């Protein structure tokens, strides 16, 4: 099936082509992000393959539908970038990747927590310059601390298990409590209690209208003073300006983020030779107790291999008229 692959980086091309070796779909790799302006590049493609910072709103879907697209396959779990209701109106099926190594993200969240708490990135920069001073690098033991997990699905539960292994008390908040989370010793509490009691809060729920800015000025004011916030889920969960203000007063003791609300115009590209006009992110990266990575939590060989294989399998299933097991609901 003719498939336009937007936001295609080198690794997307290699890994997707590998997964496609036997399926034989005709892949048109495009480095552009999908927007209303770039949508005509998919003309004649029945399938369009996208990633998290592509725009798949009603305007773009209308253009795609008019050009003959009948399937949108996102190479991600989250699908907040897709207007699923509009897709249904235009008769476009939408599939995502539900099952790929949740360990990739959970392990990265732990890595970010250790990096920000123990100042590992700062220390590495120092030693490269021959500075072996420890001043400013003190962290705290995770053992014995309380870790709050918001969203105890696949990734949140694995993160909770790892933190439990560190000797932490694990609290959880989720609309749908899971037995697996409780089986590892996690205890569900209301979100306010989680924020007030946790030394570390890690976000693992999807971005929906309900969860947008779940971390905001009010919730940060109710959080335990000096707590550390980790976000590997979606940037829109955090009101970044409120987090910046809380960092300035010390109410927030540290921030480790792999996702950022305005990441679409920044992430997945090398901007090191340009002037970055986003003052919010530039201010954030200047804090000594903040670590920012560019949406790489999923980026392991295992996860990418599974993402690409599932995406190709979904396209093949669609072509054959088979059931789409990873189809997303009509509205999020
Ligand atoms: P999942 O569906 O297994 O778990 C999500 C959990 O959030 C579920 O238990 C659900 O009940 C809960 N939830 C939904 N709405 C909620 C609400 N209003 N309040 C509290 N909890 C709520 O998903 P997952 O595979 O664990 O992925 C979690 C998120 O991680 C994804 O939605 C995605 O945004 C993010 N993610 C990020 C990366 C990355 O590279 N940074 C990669 C994959 C996924």
70 and 180 both lie in a single domain = no
For this complex, say whether ipTM is above 0.85.
yes
91 and 170 both lie in a single domain = no
286 and 154 both lie in a single domain = yes
Q: Domain count of the chain?
A: 2
Give the residue-averaged pLDDT of 71-87. 95
Q: Does residue 270 fall inside a structural domain?
A: yes
Q: What percent of the chain has pLDDT over 70?
A: 99
Active site residue 295: yes
Specify which residues 187 forms β-bridges with: 171
CATH of the domain at 252: 3.40.50.720
189 and 307 both lie in a single domain = no
Active site residue 129: no
144 and 217 both lie in a single domain = yes
Pocket of ligand 1 (CB under 6 A): 77-78, 102, 105, 150-156, 173-176, 204-208, 210-211, 232-234, 258-259, 295, 297-298
Give the residue-averaged pLDDT of 28-35. 97
User: Tokens 């340009």 map to which residue?
Assistant: 274
Q: What percent of the chain has pLDDT over 90?
A: 96
273 and 149 both lie in a single domain = yes
* C-beta of residue 65 within 8 angstroms of C-beta of residue 91: yes
70 and 162 both lie in a single domain = no
109 and 95 both lie in a single domain = no
Q: Does residue 225 fall inside a structural domain?
A: yes
Longest dimension (CA), the chain: 63
Range of the domain at 278: 102-292
Q: Does residue 332 fall inside a structural domain?
A: no
- Provide the terminal-to-terminal Cα distance of the chain, rounded to the nearest Å: 27
Rounded distance between C-alpha atoms, residue 72 and residue 191, angstroms: 35
CA dihedral sign, ordered 293, 51, 11, 156: positive
Q: Does residue 215 fall inside a structural domain?
A: yes
Tell me: pLDDT of 32 over 70. Answer: yes
128 and 238 both lie in a single domain = yes
What pLDDT shows up at residue 332? 41
């Amino acid at each position: 099936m003719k498939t336009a692959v937007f936001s295609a980086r080198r690794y997307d091309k290699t890994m997707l082509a590998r997964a496609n070796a036997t399926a034989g779909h005709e892949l048109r790799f495009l480095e552009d992000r999908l927007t209303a302006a770039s949508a005509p590049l998919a003309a004649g493609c029945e399938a369009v393959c996208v990633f998290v910072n592509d725009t798949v709103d009603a305007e773009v879907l209308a253009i795609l539908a008019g050009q003959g697209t009948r399937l949108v396959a996102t190479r991600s779990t989250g699908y907040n970038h897709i207007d699923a209701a509009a897709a249904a109106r235009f008769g476009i099926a939408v599939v995502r990747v539900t099952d790929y190594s949740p360990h990739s993200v959970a392990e990265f969240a732990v890595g970010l927590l250790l990096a920000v708490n123990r100042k590992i990135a700062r220390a590495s920069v120092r030693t490269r310059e021959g500075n072996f001073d420890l001043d400013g690098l003190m962290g705290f033991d995770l053992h014995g601390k309380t870790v709050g997990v918001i969203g105890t699905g696949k990734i949140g539960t694995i993160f909770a298990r790892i933190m439990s292994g560190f000797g932490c008390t694990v609290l959880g908040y989720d609309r749908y409590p899971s037995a697996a989370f409780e089986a590892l010793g996690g205890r569900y509490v209301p979100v306010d209690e989680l924020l007030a009691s946790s030394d570390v809060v890690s976000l693992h729920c999807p971005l929906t209208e309900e969860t947008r800015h779940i971390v905001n000025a009010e919730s940060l004011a109710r959080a335990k003073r000096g707590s550390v916030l980790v976000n590997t889920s979606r940037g829109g969960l955090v009101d970044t300006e409120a987090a910046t203000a809380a960092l300035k007063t010390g109410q927030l003791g540290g921030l480790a983020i792999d996702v950022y609300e305005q990441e679409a115009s920044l992430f997945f590209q090398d901007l090191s030779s340009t002037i970055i006009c986003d003052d919010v992110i530039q201010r954030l990266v200047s804090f000594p107790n903040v670590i920012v990575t560019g949406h790489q939590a999923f980026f392991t060989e295992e996860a990418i291999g599974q993402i690409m294989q599932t995406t190709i399998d979904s396209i093949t299933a669609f072509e054959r008229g088979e059931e789409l097991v990873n189809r997303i609901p009509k509205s999020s």
